[in-house]
Structures are given as structure tokens and as C-alpha cells.
Chain A
């Protein structure tokens, strides 16, 4: 029975580790300026935890194989060194790994969430609601109009509750259901929630952030590859949560400029 246990644990360990290493299912290619640091942190963690995983499972398997009771009257043997090697290993090796990951990881995290956006960023307002995302560009006047929750009207597509009649800066705001952005330009989003918690997640961009009702939350990134990617909601928001998505279109600068001009003309 011990040998069977050892074999099963070994097979499980080898198969699951192999699948991790083979990247059979893996992150999509990174299209962001900051993502490589996250991917590196992930790989480093995968290696160190993978080693720990394999060693402990195999030790468990080995001991289960070797130390079954063979009814030969032999005495049990204490682990050499007693508990001390365990404490030392955990405190020193695991401790060192933790320290490294914390120091490096803190910088990676700060780079994404604790640095102010580039002053040249393209500002875009994002509103999440049950069950869609809407994006607002400031228009040629470069200013966002004020939002008024009591004016929100889905039927007339006034998703942000703008008051163009009385608010001049709101008149040229561009509101669209797709996030269109230029390549290699810093983007500064402002996240607001209309009703409940939502989240903004683009796996390829290595970016994620909750929307919280009552708060306006900044999020910034730069996309380094053109293409069309999905933005999905990762914070449970109701029955349509699974279907709540938008697309992000990364266009070359010239194409983006044209798009923006066309949209402005339509307002």
C-alpha cells in the first residue's frame, strides 16, 4: 500500500509539473509595457515553488515507499537532526526566497499601481455597469463633462449621465462601447461604477482593477502591440457577469487619430 501511494504521488507530481513546464495552458503573449516584469516574477515563483513542490511530494513518496512496517521488529528512527533542519530550511531558504520576491515584487507592483501616469497620457473615462462597459473620450475641447447619476438614461444612451444642454464641456464628449487606443501611447483610465462592484481585466495587458461604486479609480498602462483583445469583468456583479465584456482595439497612431476625428465629427 505504501508503494502504491508512492507511485501514485510520483505520477501525479510528474504529470502536473510537466504540464506546467510545457506551457500547455499558459498566459497569452504580453502586449503591455509593464507586463514583462510580471511575467518574470511569475516565472521565478513558478521555478522556486515548483522545486519545493516536487521535492516535498517526492520526499513524501519516498518515505511512504521505504518506511512501511515490515513486521521485522526494527526500531523507528528519528529524523537526523530532529526538527532543527526543518526550521532552519524554512526560515532560511524559504525566508530568503520570500524576501527576494517581496522586494522585487514590490517594485513591480509600485510600477503599475503606485506611480502617477505619464503627463502625456491619453485620458479615458470608463464606466462599468450591469452588464457593460462604456468608454468616454474628452473630445476636441480636451475636457470631460460632469456626470449626473440622476440623468443616466439607457434608452437614450446617456450612459454617463451627461448634461450637454447645460454643460458645454459635455457636448463633445465621445462615448463608445469599445476601448480604442493608440499603440505605444500611455493610457490613463478613470474607473467608475454605476451600480455595483465590477472589474476591468485584460489578460494580454497584464492589468486588472476593481471598479468600486462611490470611488473613481485610476489605472494606467501602455499597449505595445496592435490588435483586438477582450476586456472581461472579474468581480461578481449579477446574473450577466459572465457576459459582461468589451473589446479593446489597439490601433497605430495614425489610424487612431483618424478614428478619433471621425467620432468627434459624429457627436
Chain B
């Protein structure tokens, strides 16, 4: 195995000056925190958008205080117009999927902890790493600018189906410059994530410290590594797709726009393109993307649960094999988003097979977590609760996928709130619980300060109960045929469902408010929490063998030597305090 200081690995001196230390930093830890801060801003924005949407659905004619000032076009008199609702929805989805679920669990925590967990001083290419953050930030700013430029943000959904997204402003408000900004933003985002994934993979392969074989890597590192591989292929496909979309919009090409379209009484000048081509390219990226969103969560739960169970993860090699299987299968299922799209119906059956087969490794990993807590000595800290909560909500979300995977059932459930409930449970809840678990677990290491446990537990309980109240009823709505992406429910058969929507809205607003507890806890602890020891949770992996927070080169110039895997919990006589074995050979921390 290699020593982290082998020539070829980029070594840099300690940073000097405010800009170098905190703004244009090459340090993966600072970059990780920058990603997390960006994700925090993004998630607050995305949540506010969702509150506006839910409020409008429940009380479509009630003015929302202050909104008229903020968006005089979209919400004259404080009442959201149908087109503005769709714009809010598009931005909500885009911000959450890209700038929260891909940044926080992967770019954020991964950047911070992957090098430390493999015993390296930094990522393999620190300058490229810094670039990847700044390009992500620019992408975010470009996206957000759609709120204030032209006639508003796009309204074609985060999926931006052509030709609605491709023909330009004839298709509706927001479909002018707003949609182009969206496409530019996503193109930049793809470039940034490719650069990031490059770093993750190279660091994992080449910069592991002495004794850190692949088999001894923590499961979070495995998950980040596998996620990066998925990302390298997925983002490499979305990028040209967005470029072709931009060309259709501004250069008069017709990749996605067929002949003979009459929009706003105007015969469109394009011809020959294929709307289904966009869907294929988009979902070839889009399905692996959702695994990019959840796989780090799998790794994080697998990493954290044993710490608080005081027991090794059950079946670690099976776990890793399942992660690899899921990653591989994720490339074979994209057509299950397109069963009714007009593609050859036989393809639907073909795609449904691997879609259902993915259930098998997903079931195995869930059972491995449940099996891990069998016979455990559970310590119910906040991160532990979020791990247990993750298992519960992932079961709920995964099960609804089982229905949608079957084309015959999807004939009824496609395009309904059943789908909305499904993907929110797996992405909006489970992946978020992974982020929460990671935050509570790693905050002491990142900030050198403990977060408040009481506030953490309040946050957990209100959120856990809240999300079930918000998203479980969506399955009932879907079974009743409630169509999604509607800004109002004016159909005869939908009107009786409005009371359930009001229940969901109230639950959503309460659950959103509960997140303020988290925000308050996070910000206050970051600056004023009690000092954190090096290893407050009695965990084994390398990040706990260094200080809280770690020195700029992670291990004080003395890289650790690894003697065992990450799973040594519940060993020894069982008496408290001596039931685990740390990965690093002996306590090695900076002497300076």
C-alpha cells in the first residue's frame, strides 16, 4: 500500500491569509464545508418553495403575505398564478435534486471525510477540487438568476421534457431565457461533478495510507467511491444532452423538436427531431442520479449504525456487493420512467425486469441494517435515531417503488401523487435523514464542538412523525388517481381530495418549522457548542484518530498506519469503553 506522501500526490504548505484559508481553499475540508454551506442555502430555498407550493394547493385563492412584493408577476396580490406555481415546482425539484441531494451527502461529507478515512493528506487534485466547488457555486447562481431575469424561471419541471423545454418562449412564461439559464446551470453542474468524481476515485485508488486495503475502507468511503463511478458516467451523458437542448433553443437546431408544431398559433420552424431522444438521454442520467442521491446515505448509515449499536455491521462484504450491484443495475432501468412515453411497449417489459430485480439488493441491505441492531447495545443518540429512522422511511419509499416498477400497474399510477410520495420518501426523506445523521455524527469532528442532544432529539421526533404525515397520504391520493404537477384541483373527481391536501400542507408547514430547530442547533453549536473530544462516539475509523477538527494536513504530518477494518465493535469483554478497536495502529496525532 502506498504512503500518502508519495511523489505524484499533491502536497501543499499550510494556507496563509484569509482568502486562501477560507475562500479559495485547496483544503478538502474547507471545500467540503463550502459544499455543505451551499447545500444548506439550497435546501432552505427549496423548502420555502415547497411551502409556497403546498400553501397554494391547499388554499389556492388565499393571498400569501409578502409574496406580491417579492414576485409581482408571479403572484400579483399574493396569489400564485398557475405558471408561477409550475416555475416554483421546477426550481424546487432542480435545486433539491442537484444542489442538495448531490452536493451534501456526496460532495460535502465525501470531500471532507473521504481523504481522512483513507488516511490521506488531501484529495489527489486539490486545485481541481477547488474548481469543482466554485463551478458548482456558479451553476447555482446561474440557476437562481432565473428568478429575476426575463419572465421568470422555467416551468417544464426538473425533467425539462422537450419540446416544451426546447422551443423557446412560445411555449409559455419562463420558457424564454429562464429555461436557457436552467440548461446552462445544469451543464456547469455536470462539469463540476465530473471534476469532483475524478478526485474521489483517484484518491480512493491511489492515496490510501499504509495498511488501508480496499477491504478495510469504511463503508461510507465505499459508498462515495461507488457513487463517484456512477456519477462519472451519468453526468457525462447529461452534459451533452443539455448542450443539445441549448442548441435547439438558441441555434435553431432540431435535435428534440419534430416538424409541424403549432404553439401559440405559430408554426414552429424546427423539423425532424425526437422528443423521446431527450427523455432517453435525460433518464439514462436521471435514474443513476437518484442512486447518486441515496447511495452515500447507505454508506453513511452503514458507517454510523454500528457505532451506536456497539456491534459490527452485519454482512459487510454482502453490503458492498449489494452497493456495487445496485450501481450496476441503476444503468439498466431508466426506461421505467418512460413506460407510457410512446416508446415501444415491449421495451417497458424489458425495463421492468431489472427494475424489479433491484429490489433484491435493496431488500438485502435493509435487512442487513435491521440484522445489525438485533442483539445490539443501542445508544439512542440523535445520529442513531436518524439511522433507525432512515431504515423505516427507506422501507416505506422502497415499497411504493415496487408498484411503479410494474408497467401494468404504472398504467394507473403514473403521473399521480403515488409517484410523488414514492420519490419524496426515498429522496426527500431517506436521503435527508442520511444527511441529518451525518451532520449530527460528524459535526463534532468538523467544528470541534458538540451539537445539543436535546434539540437534536426534538428535531428528530418532529421530523420523523411529520414526514410520515406529509408523504404517506400522497400514496392514498395517488390510488384515487390524483394527478401530479397540477397547480390547482379543479377536476370533479379531485375536489373531494382537497381536505387531504390541506392535511398534508399543514403537516408540511409544521415539519418545515421543525427544521428551524436543526438550523438553530447547527449554527449555535458551530460557534458556541461545548468542546468536542477526538472521539466522542467511541468509533473506529481514521477520522476519529485525529483531532476535532483535524489539522490542515489531517494527521499532523504523520499519516496513520492501519491495522484492522472499520467494523471492530462489540469486541473484548463487553465492559463499557473497551469494546472497539480503532483502525489506526496506535494513537497518532499531531505533536505540534
Contacts and interface: CB of A to CB of B under 8 A. Distances in A.
B66 interface: no
Contacts of A117: none
A54 to B, nearest CB: 10
Nearest to A67: B376
Contacts of B480: 25-28, 203
A7 to B, nearest CB: 11
A215 to B, nearest CB: 5
B490 A212 contact: no
Interface residues of B, number: 111
A260 interface: no
B276 A212 contact: yes
Contacts of B408: 37-38, 41, 105, 108-109, 112
A76 B349 contact: no
Given A208-B412, A236-B157, A86 B367 contact: yes
Interface of A: 1-2, 4-5, 8-9, 12, 16, 19-20, 24-28, 37-38, 41-42, 45-46, 49, 52-53, 56-57, 59-60, 63-64, 67-71, 73-79, 82-83, 86-87, 89-91, 94-95, 98, 101-102, 105-106, 108-110, 112-114, 129-130, 149-150, 152, 154, 161, 194-197, 199, 201, 203, 206-215, 217, 230, 232-243, 245
A67 B360 contact: no
B357 A42 contact: no
Given A63-B373, A241-B86, A230 B367 contact: no
A12 B574 contact: no
A98 B39 CA distance: 37
Nearest to A153: B265
B520 interface: no
Contacts of A9: 392
30 contacts: A1-B380, A1-B385, A25-B477, A28-B480, A49-B399, A53-B395, A56-B395, A67-B378, A69-B378, A76-B376, A76-B570, A86-B371, A90-B364, A108-B408, A109-B348, A109-B349, A113-B348, A195-B263, A196-B261, A197-B161, A201-B483, A210-B340, A210-B341, A213-B258, A215-B342, A230-B493, A234-B484, A238-B83, A241-B487, A245-B491
A95 B368 CA distance: 17
Given A69-B310, A207-B411, A236 B374 contact: no
Nearest to A3: B380
A91 B378 CA distance: 29
A64 B258 contact: no
Chain B CB count within 10 A is highest, among A56, A195, A213, for A213
B380 A86 contact: no
Contact of B375 (A67, A206, A235): A67
Nearest to B367: A86
B274 interface: yes
B86 A236 contact: yes
A38 B409 contact: yes
A238 to B, nearest CB: 4
A149 B373 CA distance: 64
A1 B388 CA distance: 12
Given A76-B375, A78-B375, A5 B346 contact: no
Contacts of A70: 377
A42 B574 CA distance: 49
A82 B315 contact: yes
Contact of A71 (B259, B368, B411, B576): B576
Contacts of B574: 73-76
Contacts of B377: 67-70, 74, 76
Contact of A232 (B171, B265, B483): B483
Chain A CB count within 10 A is highest, among B378, B407, B487, B576, for B378
B172 A113 contact: no
A83 B366 contact: no
B111 interface: no
A69 B342 CA distance: 56
Contacts of A233: 483
Given A77-B374, A210-B342, A212-B276, A106 B485 contact: no
B566 interface: no
B158 to A, nearest CB: 11
B500 A25 contact: yes
Nearest to A78: B375
A235 B415 contact: yes
B488 interface: yes
Contacts of A214: 258-260, 273-275
Interface in B369-421: 370-380, 385, 388, 391-392, 395-396, 399, 402-403, 406-409, 411-412, 414-416
B363 interface: yes
A193 to B, nearest CB: 8
Contact of B488 (A76, A101, A242): A242
B476 A113 contact: no
B512 interface: no
B173 A239 contact: yes
Given A45-B409, A79-B371, A87-B315, 10 more contacts: A42-B409, A49-B399, A60-B395, A67-B375, A109-B408, A110-B349, A130-B172, A149-B261, A213-B260, A233-B483
Contact of B340 (A1, A25, A87, A208): A208
Nearest to B478: A25
Q: Which 6 A-B pairs have the closest CB atoms?
A: A83-B315, A214-B258, A77-B375, A234-B415, A203-B481, A1-B380
A196 B491 contact: no
A199 to B, nearest CB: 6
Given A27-B479, A213-B163, A214-B259, A91 B314 contact: no
